[in-house]
Chain A
Amino acid sequence: MRLRTFILLRLLLTIPMILILVTVVFSIMRILPGDPVLAVIGSRNASEQQIEALRHQLGLDKPLYLQYLGYIGGLFRGDFGYSMVRLDPVTTELAIALPATIELTFWSMLLAIPLGIYSGVVAAKHVGGKIDASIRIGSLVRWCVPVFWFGLVLQILVVQYGLPFPIAGQASSRMVGVPDVTGLYVVDAVLGRNPQALADAFLHLLLPVLTLGTTMAASITQIARTNIIGVLGEDYIKVASLKGCTDERVFQKHALPNALIPILTYTGLQVAVLLQGAILTETVFSWPGLGRLLIVAVGYRDFNLIQGCVIFFALVVSVANLIVDISYAMVDPRVRL
Chain B
Amino acid sequence: MWPKSSRSMVIAGTVIIVVVLALDAYTHIVGLNPFATSYQVLSPPSFAHVMGTDQIGRDIFSRVSFGTTFSLLVAFVSVIISVGVGSVTGAFSGFFGGKIDRVTSLAFDALYALPPLIIAILIAAMIGPGIVNTGLAIGIGYMPQYFRVVRGIILSIKERPFIESTRAIGAGYGTLIFHHMIPYAIPSIIALMTLNMGSGVVDVAGLGFLGLGLPPPTPEWGTDLGRGRDFITSGAWWPSTFPGLMIVMSVLGFTLLGQGLDEVFRSASTKQKEKF
**A interface residues (Cβ-Cβ under 8 A, vs B):** 13, 16-18, 20-21, 24-25, 28-29, 32-34, 140-141, 143-146, 148-149, 152-153, 155-156, 159-160, 272-273, 275-276, 279-280, 283-284, 294-295, 298-299, 301, 306, 310, 313-314, 317-318, 321
Contact = CB atoms under 8 A, between A and B. Distances in A.
Interface string B214-230: 00000000000110010
Interface string B221-250: 000011001001101010011001001100
Given A20-B107, A272-B113, A299-B211, A145 B121 contact: no
Given A17-B110, A144-B251, A314-B113, 4 more contacts: A275-B118, A276-B116, A279-B121, A301-B125
A28 B225 contact: no
A144 B113 contact: no
A160 B113 contact: no
Given A21-B113, A310-B118, A280 B209 contact: yes
A28 B122 contact: yes
Interface of B: 106-107, 109-119, 121-123, 125-128, 198, 202, 205-206, 209-212, 225-226, 229, 232-233, 235, 237, 240-241, 244, 247-248, 251-252, 255-256, 259
11 contacts: A21-B110, A24-B114, A28-B119, A34-B128, A140-B256, A145-B248, A148-B206, A156-B240, A276-B116, A295-B210, A301-B125
B96 to A, nearest CB: 20
B235 A159 contact: yes
B127 A34 contact: yes
A16 B119 CA distance: 19
A275 B114 CA distance: 10
Chief secondary structure at chain A's binding surface: helix
A141 B127 contact: no
Given A28-B122, A32-B123, A276-B118, A148 B113 contact: no
Contacts of A321: 113
Contact of B241 (A153, A272, A283, A301): A153
Given A17-B109, A160-B235, A275 B247 contact: no
A284 B205 CA distance: 14
Given A160-B235, A299-B211, A141 B248 contact: yes
A327 B106 CA distance: 20
